[in-house]
Amino acid sequence: MRLTRRTPAWLALAICSSLSLTGCFSAAAEQASGEDRISVAHMQPPRSGLSPLSDDAFKLSRWSAAETLVTLDEDGTAQPGLATGWERISDLVWEFSIRQEVTFHNGKPLTAQAAAHSLQQAIDSIPVPRILNGTTLEVDVHSAEKIRVATADPDPLLPQRLSSPQLAIFDAAAYAANGVDPAGTGTGPFRIVAVDGISGATLDRYDGYWGEPAAAAGIDVKFVPDGTARAAALRTGEADIAEAIPAGQAASVDQQLLTEVAMPRTNTLYLNTESGPFADPAVRAAARAAVDRVAIVQSVYESRADVAEGLLGPALPYAAKLRESEEYRQLLEQRAEPAKVKDVKISLGTFTDRAELPEVAVILEQQLEAAGFDVQQDVREYQYIEADALDGAFDAFILSRATVLDSGDPVAYLASDFTCTGGFSIAQLCDKSVDRSIDIASQTEAGTERQQRIMLAEAQILGTDAAIPLLHERVIQGEGSTVRNAAQDPRERQLVTAKTQLDDK
């Protein structure tokens, strides 16, 4: 049942004590406040005590409890956040103007000094936030309202980097020798007032917020790793919002409560271009021709995924349109013609950590064998198979891969997976034309031209048949019938915003 403001507090507590599946979402707090509070069932508990310098930063961002200097729109274009604007002073130096009349949740003012201090803490942390891997930054206070950030090498994506939740700005009081405490030190419309280890957290509206006041009185969070339990919490009304409902549980929930959000994650069949049968481009083309993506999406994902037309999916709105260009089509026409194969032995690897991938492997084996390949599967836990995959031990490997990292830009993924010096080159690809295309994209300023260069790099990669994109994943987000204006964010940076509220209709 759904607890409402009309439910007596004693009855709410009694119901809480009887719920053994997911626990209670602060019903008593809702009764005491007399205002709507939003209950959220999260998939994963904190891994680093909600440190913003870890992946836990994304929880702080999804609760609107922490903010960054820069935000991103759906195309990945940098927009003002705690910085009202920025200017590139030189190839290596950027200047950011800090928003005035902003206070931290403890009442202290946001200043250029405070912003610089937060960034310096991230720069000096061990390990550094992943958005800073391979980069060298220096930050200085230029004036009372401005900071300057210098890079060791020209970086056209620096504003996008500063949008990473791991580079959120906190008051200096957050930083101590034993870690970072975000409670009461952020700047968002909600402030953290209590954290119960890996069980849950409580946030209240921050009345001193610089922007639009939060519509809801607060957020009551429970961490519910079990997907069946999250679905049940949504179905019974115990949770207003539930993260990542498993596809297998979706049928048990009112379909009107579910929203499928396209994710920047692609399931791809990587082919070993360096050794074995797939060193021959024509044999790689034969594998491409054998793959039926629609059958995989329909059977394994119950049609809750998008058939892949390329490496980048609908989470990047510009991708599909830019594939229509003549230059893109010409690059694809360079692909080899499929060879006729018979009894060609290949090894196919994948991992069990994502439940769908072993099923995908079974279907791919059937499709490839129908085309004349003799497939031997090797399926293990990821931690036991990654090294072999990166060493080129497999002829083919199925991987679920995030294509957009914290900067909101896919170039780092393309470079890592498909260049001669890439650190995650399962396809073992080393092609000068591909390297040149990715390098051009990496040096292009953010905007439309960069997007065009990214898509031409995709076409160049697909032209080698080193990778056969299969599908783009979706996440199923659950929202109760009274929830309004919850964010449906492919990058998983936003969930409950200042506009999110409950409607009693």
Locate all alpha helices (DSSP H) within 272-314, ordered by sequence: 281-290, 293-300
Amino acid of residue 365: E
Largest CA distance in the chain: 73
Most confident of 283-297, 391-405, 432-446: 283-297
Boundaries of every domain in the chain? 9-56+202-254+481-502, 70-176, 262-474
Vertex 205, ends 204 and 211: CA angle to 5°? 150
Q: Name which of 7-16, 121-130, 293-302, 456-465 the model is least confident about.
A: 7-16
> In what helix (H) or strand (E) does residue 373 lie, and over which residues does it extend?
strand 373-380
pLDDT of 15 reads 34
Q: Which fold has domain 70-176?
A: Dipeptide-binding Protein; domain 1 (3.90.76)
pLDDT of 101 reads 94
Does residue 10 carry a pLDDT above 50? no
pLDDT of 126 reads 86
- Domain 262-474 -> CATH class: alpha beta
pLDDT of 446 reads 86
> Cα–Cα distance between 30 and 38 in angstroms, integer?
9
Q: How confident is the model at residue 12 (pLDDT cuts 50, 70, 90)?
A: very low
> Hey, CA dihedral for 153, 159, 163, 168, is it positive or negative?
positive
CATH number attached to the domain at 9-56+202-254+481-502 = 3.40.190.10
What is the tens place of the pLDDT at every residue in 13-61? Answer: 333 433 334 345 544 444 434 469 999 999 888 888 899 988 889 999 9
Does residue 162 carry a pLDDT above 80? yes
Does residue 9 carry a pLDDT above 50? no
Vertex 68, ends 81 and 115: CA angle to 5°? 100
Average pLDDT across the chain, whole number: 90
Does residue 493 carry a pLDDT above 80? yes
Q: What is the mean pLDDT of residues 456-466?
A: 98
Does residue 318 carry a pLDDT above 60? yes
pLDDT of 31 reads 40
> Cα–Cα distance between 26 and 31 in angstroms, integer?
9
Among 406, 399, 451, smallest CA distance to 425 is for 399
What are the DSSP E strand ranges found in 154-277? Answer: 175-176, 179-180, 190-196, 200-205, 218-223, 241-242, 258-271
pLDDT of 232 reads 94
Which residues pair with residue 148 across a beta bridge?
Answer: 95, 140
Locate all alpha helices (DSSP H) within 66-147, ordered by sequence: 112-124
Are the C-beta atoms of residues 397 and 468 closer than 8 Å to each other?
no
Does residue 412 carry a pLDDT above 50? yes
What is the tens place of the pLDDT at every residue in 239-275? Answer: 999 998 887 788 889 999 999 999 999 999 999 999 9
Does residue 183 carry a pLDDT above 90? yes
| Burial classification of residue 386, based on how many CB atoms lie within 10 Å of its CB (0-12 exposed, 13-18 middle, 19 or more buried) | middle
Q: What is the mean pLDDT of residues 311-321?
A: 94
- The pTM assigned to this predicted structure is 0.79
Does residue 136 carry a pLDDT above 60? yes
